[in-house]
Structure 1
Amino acid sequence: MQWREWLCSLGGGVGRSDLEDLRSVLPSFFPSLFGLGALASLTAYWLLTRPRSIRPPCDLRAQSVPVQGDASCRRSALLRDDNLLDFYYEDTKTAYEMFQRGLRIAGDRPCLGFRKPGEPYQWISYTEVTHRAQVLGSGLLAKGCQPNPKQFIGIFSQNRPEWVIAELACYTFSMAVVPLYDTLGLEAMVHILNLAEIPLVICDKMEKAESMLANKETGVTPALSCLVLFNPISAALVERGRNCGVEVLHLSQLMALGRDNLRAPIPPEPEDLAVVCFTSGTTGKPKGAMITHGNIASNTSSVIKILEGFFVIRQEDVSISYLPLAHMFERMIQVSMFVHGARVGFYQGDVSLLMDDIKALRPTFFPVVPRLLTRIYDKIQGSVTSPLRRAILHYAVKRKQAEVNSGIIRNNSLWDRLIFNKIQATLGGRLRFILTASAPISPAVLSFLRATLGCLIFEGYGQTECTAGCTFSMPGDFSAGHVGPPLPCAMVKLADIPDMSYYAKRGQGEICIRGPSVFQGYLKDEENTAQALDGDGWLHTGDVGQWLPNGTLRIIDRKKHIFKLSQGEYVAPEKIENIYMRSVPVLQVFVHGDSLQSCVVGIVVPDPEVFVDWARERGIVGSYEELCQNSDVKSAVLEDMVAMGKEAGLKSFEQVKDLYLHPEMFSVSNGLLTPTLKSKRVELRQVFREQIALMYSKVAV
């Protein structure tokens, strides 16, 4: 009866009749009470677990601000003033210090991963990587290399842990790295070895060492005196090297020499040269962009600054390394991982096995180029054949896109569980972050994948000469069709291009960059340096941009690859190609024109995954190769492309008047794309000179 006494004490004047009344209603009251309690519990659970919108770090309507009142020159809204960001952490002013920070965080935890076919990943710890780098660097010094930033060491290898260890070995003793890669070609390789006076090259395979020795034997690379290989070497290779004055060593031999002559680190300063990154170039000889440790620190720090409080790289995070380490994009991704003590797992070196590596590694961070995202998009779309499933997919995508547009990014919604989880599983099922750069990406593809993959997808823009990026998507802004505002390390301005009718006062012009991430110039090349860097330190990119009302930058054209038609009209082929790429049957396109012709023509590689079905829908049946030779199919493709051009506002003289369907993709291996997947226009013109001439002869008639 204690409860009666308690009720009486509460009311003071509660009598027996009141208690009897209460007792009479309790049977009906308790179910209601329990119902209210259950509802309250469910409400509390929903409040705690409901998907939350991302809170942007700034007003998304003003993501950049004018510099000194000049609307054509802008900097990040995340900065307090016009002083640009040099570094984020006080102890990370060089690439060497950034790795050392990761070492302090992670210690004996995994750093670099690799795998053999069919086996799980094996890992090398931060402690072991640091030790190996010091030993290898000591070995380099024992072979006569000097511990200063004027000492250039070549690395000629596919992505693998030893690449990173060799790079860190150079940084441990203030030496500079010169990456080399297969697609440079013989002439360009000789040019680089001689220009940088490289005495020692670290290779992965014997084939690459043999190509180095062939150059030495003909006397065209006199400075080369030592080759170090990751893979096993033969006695014949050692003898061949001895005969032409080149010492050939296995990595283990150099490591043994380093252990016997171990030296204390001689760390670099921020202003010291870290890497000479030779641009692959679409024309002419490659140019060596000189990148300092300060350049690397400011660029990496700016990405960290943008993501602070929103996306923090953790020790458990892992990135898949398959994009060429010879280029700055992949290197900056890795530095960002290392500074936080996170992991990097390397693919096996075979792109055809990349998806298998991804499933084994299950990365959380995935750096990509737009072409790969487009291929993923095409595969998803191509896998849905029935009208009902296609309708369900599109409805689910719209529901997820509505969430994305409201700032909610997740992979645990009803639609994820029912439809998208299989798609996400093909990329390991743990992705938190995707970064795309190096070329434009279709807004439709970007929006679609943000919904289906259930992770953050950011787009950046930049080039080697500004270390990597100069603009980056702002957290919380999931609109498409732009590359974000300037990074905190960069001021971006637009300069007039009168010949193309672009003017800064209209918010359009050549994109120019200034700040601590801008390179120091091209190695021993004053002429090209003067063309790239003006007297005020502005890097002229050759790309054409437009400021949008929200302070983000849109890439709209390209200045460098323009030509004038016979009637005096200027044409920017890359702009036209980017528009035609939206045509469903088109996978790749090369637009050509010159001053002797009044129109442009095109070489088109149809998309093999959709081309046959696309033609069948138009009543034309045949194999992929047969359809490429079918004049009716060509006319249908041309009609579709022209319609796409009209929709995008192309002028009549910008539309191709004829095209040739080519069944083989442009690729790095066949020499028609650079390693960053840009068209090599000189090579394309040469390869298709007969087809181009034939098309112009028909157009003239």
Structure 2
Amino acid sequence: MTTAVPIDPAIQSVGHMLRNRIRQTPDRRAYSYPVVAGDGTETWTAVTWSELGTQAAEVAGGLMSMGIEAEERVAIASSTRYEWALANYGIMYASAATVTVYPTTVADDVSFILADSGSRVVFAEDREQVDKLLALRDEIPDVQSVVLFSGDVPEELDTEAPGWVVTLDDLRERGRAYLADNPTAVDDRIDATRLEHLSTLIYTSGTTGRPKGVRLPHRVWVFEAHSAEATARSGPEEFLTIDDKQFLWLPLAHVMGKLLLVLPVHIGFETAIDGRIDKIIGNLAVVKPTFMGSAPRIFEKAYNGVATMMASEGGVKEKLFHWASRTGVQVFDADHGVGSASAWVRLQAKIGDRLVMSKIRERFGGNVNYFISGSAALNTDIARWFGAAGMPILEGYGLTETSAATCLTRPHIYRAGYVGRPMEGIEARIAEDGEVLIKGPGVMDGYHNNPEATAEVLDADGWFHTGDIGEMDNEGRVKITDRKKELFKTSNGKYVAPAQIEAKFKGLCPVASQLVVIGNDRPYVSALVTLDEDAVTAWAERSGVSGTYREIVAAPVTREMVQGYIDELNSHLNRWEQIKKFTVLHRDLGVEYQEITPSLKLRRKVIHEHFDNEIAAHYE
């Protein structure tokens, strides 16, 4: 039986949670974020919970001065940055509902999201986002104002759209004036908000078809925060406390990023926030967090970066790295129920940790207790290596429709390849066809303006049908094997689960970026391969291959290298799963091409369209 999670009945919304946090720890640091000076130098500045509350109240007051009422929608189109978090908390204080928009979303989908949601105000990151909205102005008549995070309002807008765009500073100034005349306005809004009021509208990233708006009331965030706390305390050692420090780079338009804005409000730890993906590893060394959530691709790149650096050093250093990794993984596995490790192996691992792994931990800031991985399958070899390095990755599972956190690996019952048990207060079961079903307070209310789609996934008993295929072991740990819709059958009648094959390859090949498995209704499986530019360029230098990235990936020696890793991959697969032909693409897949989502999931239909000729050549 699932144990109910105790929740204070006085906590009815995210606004209640933030107000409560400020009362409890007003002077503790809430956020830190980078500020870039004119000469390009960066310094990190911090705000306390009390300061955050004051700023959020100003944003809320500004929105109320514009006439925004409870549950009306306010959109945010921006990459991850402090202003995103501030805008969201301001929206929560005004009891409005946040609509999330990725800054990379194409104009057609932006128009649909804003119109379908009925958004009245949009927070826009920069001039690029403002220009996108201006071009759509006739299609989004409900949007009465745009609030600009960065830069000044362009002068030409005074004639083209006078007063339509204001800066965040302008909004906060309006808020201060509004609250001077209405000093209890924010508290009144918070006090009137209830668990079932709409808090968030997140449109699915749309790997297929038009995005659907997932309606998440305050209930799901209040529950998820309390469930995460109870889950963290369910083992012999608590692993999420007020003394933790989070580094947050994930897209806040993604449900996992949104959850990571709610957890610190409830638990009280500091968040260092910066969404620049190219700065992640460098920021870890500066910020020195105790944990970070991420998509698997970042862990793959981090591991490949370390392995490539060691390979470039060569000699004793490279041998020491592989020795320390091998013995460390053996001990980590043994400590988590897989295989055994003798006293001699443990001594070697201890020495390897002192000589190698401790230095790797310093590259990640030196304070990481664990990472959290979500959004896609994590390669088990990479998970085990990070565990051996003393930075275990707690793999989690959830969907936008289940407000992100559904299952989570607990450190004391860790098993690589599994996403852990359902979190406290959540039920999960496996249907007869293998589909994972979820039930609990974290499940959405339904899809916005789409009752037909809601009925397809929410049954009469309240079970949400995830569309994922999985299994559960005797410890209650869940393993996701693939997306139900992504499973395909070859023309020989054999089923293939592409995501597991793709994740395995990226763990084997240190220069890999993406593998896309092909084969639906085909006589055999083939693949498209893309390579990580930094990693393959470093490999090329060591291998005597020169030229541009495009020339490197087209070189016969590069294909020979990739073929070796494909052969190794095939040795771990059933005969009908093995990759018979592959193409190394001349460029990587990109969000800007709509080939992967901002949360780094493959958009298979788009990829098939863009590389139709390459795929067709596999079957000539």
TM-score normalised per structure 2: 0.88
- Over the aligned positions, Cα root-mean-square deviation in angstroms equals 2.8
Q: Post-superposition shift, 1:415?
A: 4.5
Q: Post-superposition shift, 1:351?
A: 2.3
Cα deviation code 1:472-527 (max 9, x no counterpart): 11231233121111111321111133xxxxxxxxxxx1111111111111100112
SS of the equivalent of 2:615 reads helix
Cα deviation code 1:251-278 (max 9, x no counterpart): 2222222222212321221111110011
Q: How does 1:450-465 map to 2 (within 5 A)?
A: 450-452=387-389, 454-465=390-401
Instruction: Check the 8 A contact 1:580/1:645 in 2, yes or no.
Output: no
Q: How does 1:342-357 map to 2 (within 5 A)?
A: 342-347=269-274, 349-357=275-283
Task: Please name the residue that 1:442 is paired with.
Answer: 379
Q: More relative contact order in 1 or in 2 (CA 8 Å, sep 6+)?
A: 1
Measure, in 1, the Cα distance between the counterparts of 2:140 and 2:421.
Answer: 44
Measure, in 1, the Cα distance between the counterparts of 2:239 and 2:214.
Answer: 30
Task: Please name the residue that 1:515 is paired with.
Answer: 440
Q: How does 1:121-160 map to 2 (within 5 A)?
A: 121-146=44-69, 148-149=70-71, 151-160=72-81
* Residue-pair matches, total: 590
Task: Please name the residue that 1:695 is paired with.
Answer: 618
Instruction: Check the 8 A contact 1:295/1:467 in 2, yes or no.
Output: yes
Match of 1:249 among 166, 169, 177: 166
SS of the equivalent of 2:429 reads strand
Distance 1:312 1:572, change over 3 A: closer
Task: Please name the residue that 1:211 is paired with.
Answer: 132
Task: Please name the residue that 2:594 is paired with.
Answer: 671
SS of the equivalent of 1:676 reads coil
Distance 1:193 1:575, change over 3 A: same
Q: How does 1:544-583 map to 2 (within 5 A)?
A: 544-583=469-508
Task: Please name the residue that 1:264 is paired with.
Answer: 186
With 192-201 and 158-167 compared, the bigger mean Cα shift is at 158-167
Instruction: Check the 8 A contact 1:110/1:124 in 2, yes or no.
Output: yes
SS of the equivalent of 2:35 reads coil
Instruction: Check the 8 A contact 1:142/1:258 in 2, yes or no.
Output: yes
Is 1:393 matched up with 2:314? no
Match of 1:526 among 451, 457, 468: 451
Cα deviation code 1:202-249 (max 9, x no counterpart): 112122112111101xx222212111112221221233223xxx6221
SS of the equivalent of 2:411 reads coil
- The one-letter code of the counterpart of 1:439 is A
Task: Please name the residue that 2:358 is paired with.
Answer: 421
Q: Post-superposition shift, 1:433?
A: 2.8
SS of the equivalent of 2:130 reads helix
- The one-letter code of the counterpart of 1:479 is R
Is 1:98 matched up with 2:17? yes
Structure 1: give runs of 5+ residues left out of the alignment: 1-80, 498-508
Match of 2:584 among 652, 655, 661: 661
- The one-letter code of the counterpart of 1:102 is R
Measure, in 2, the Cα distance between the counterparts of 1:474 and 1:313.
Answer: 11
Cα deviation code 1:111-141 (max 9, x no counterpart): 1212224333111111111112122112211
Task: Please name the residue that 1:372 is paired with.
Answer: 298
- The one-letter code of the counterpart of 2:237 is F
Task: Please name the residue that 1:238 is paired with.
Answer: 158
Q: Post-superposition shift, 1:693?
A: 2.1
Instruction: Check the 8 A contact 1:103/1:127 in 2, yes or no.
Output: yes
SS of the equivalent of 1:264 reads helix
Instruction: Check the 8 A contact 1:93/1:294 in 2, yes or no.
Output: yes
Cα deviation code 1:605-652 (max 9, x no counterpart): 1345665787999x9956564453345754663464255234233x42
- The one-letter code of the counterpart of 1:158 is S
Is 1:478 matched up with 2:414? yes
SS of the equivalent of 1:183 reads coil
Instruction: Check the 8 A contact 2:300/2:506 in 1, yes or no.
Output: no
Q: How does 1:172-321 map to 2 (within 5 A)?
A: 172-216=93-137, 219-231=138-150, 232-242=152-162, 247-262=164-179, 263-265=185-187, 266-267=189-190, 268-308=193-233, 310-311=237-238, 313-321=240-248
SS of the equivalent of 1:184 reads coil
Task: Please name the residue that 1:431 is paired with.
Answer: 368
TM-score normalised per structure 1: 0.78
SS of the equivalent of 2:447 reads coil
Percent of residue pairs identical: 26
Greater C-alpha radius of gyration: 1
Instruction: Check the 8 A contact 1:306/1:475 in 2, yes or no.
Output: no
Distance 1:456 1:579, change over 3 A: closer
